[in-house]
Chains A and B, each alone.
Chain A
Amino acid sequence: MNQGPHPTNAAHVLIVGGGGTGGALAHDLVLRGLRVTVVERGEITTGCSTAGLATR
Chain B
Amino acid sequence: MNDAAAGTECIEENQILRRTAPGSFEENDGLFVALTDEDREYGRRLVEACTESRIPARELSPQEALRLEPGLNPELLWALQVPDATFDAMRLPLRWFATAKRNGAAIRPFTEVMDVISADHCVTGVVVRDHTTGHESRIGADIVVNATGPWSESIATMAGVDVPIQPSPGVLLALRGRLCNMVVNRCHPSGDGDILVPQRALTIVGTSSWLVDHPDDLGVPEDHVAAMYREGAKLVPAVNGAEQRAAWSAARPLIGSRGASSGRELSRTFQCFDHATSEGVEGFVTISGGKATTARAMAEKTADVVCGKLGVDRPCRTRDTVLLPHTAYYVN
A: which residues have CB within 8 A of B? 1-6, 11-56
Distance to closest chain A CB from B55 (angstroms): 23
Contact present for A24 and B96 (CB under 8 Å): yes
Query: Which residues of B lie under 8 Å from residue A41 when comparing CB positions?
Result: 110-113, 131
Contact present for A3 and B139 (CB under 8 Å): no
Query: Which residues of B lie under 8 Å from residue A54 when comparing CB positions?
Result: 220, 246-248
- CB of B180 closer than 8 Å to a CB of A: no
Contact present for A50 and B90 (CB under 8 Å): yes
- CB of B80 closer than 8 Å to a CB of A: no
Q: Which of B189-197, B232-240, B288-296 touches A?
A: B288-296
A48: which of B104, B139, B250 is its contact (CB, 8 Å)? Answer: B250
How many Å lie between the Cα of A5 and that of B290 in the bound state?
A: 32
Q: Which residue of A lies closest to B170 (CB)?
A: A51
Contact present for B107 and A48 (CB under 8 Å): no
Size category, B interface: 35 or more
Contact present for A32 and B290 (CB under 8 Å): no
Contact present for B148 and A32 (CB under 8 Å): no
How many Å lie between the Cα of A49 and that of B215 in the bound state?
A: 13
Query: Which residues of A lie under 8 Å from residue B94 when comparing CB positions?
Result: 23, 44-45
Contact present for B92 and A20 (CB under 8 Å): yes
Contact present for A11 and B142 (CB under 8 Å): yes
New A-B contacts (4) at CB < 8 Å, excluding given A3-B104, A16-B145: A1-B102, A15-B145, A16-B144, A56-B246
Instruction: Give B150-192 interface residues, CB cut-off 8 Å to A.
Output: 150-151, 155, 172, 174
A23: which of B97, B148, B250 is its contact (CB, 8 Å)? Answer: B97
Contact present for A32 and B99 (CB under 8 Å): no
**Would A55 and B97 be within 8 Å (CB), given that A39-B111, A49-B89 are in contact?**
no
Query: Which residues of A lie under 8 Å from residue B172 when comparing CB positions?
Result: 51
**Would A26 and B100 be within 8 Å (CB), given that A13-B306, A48-B149 are in contact?**
yes
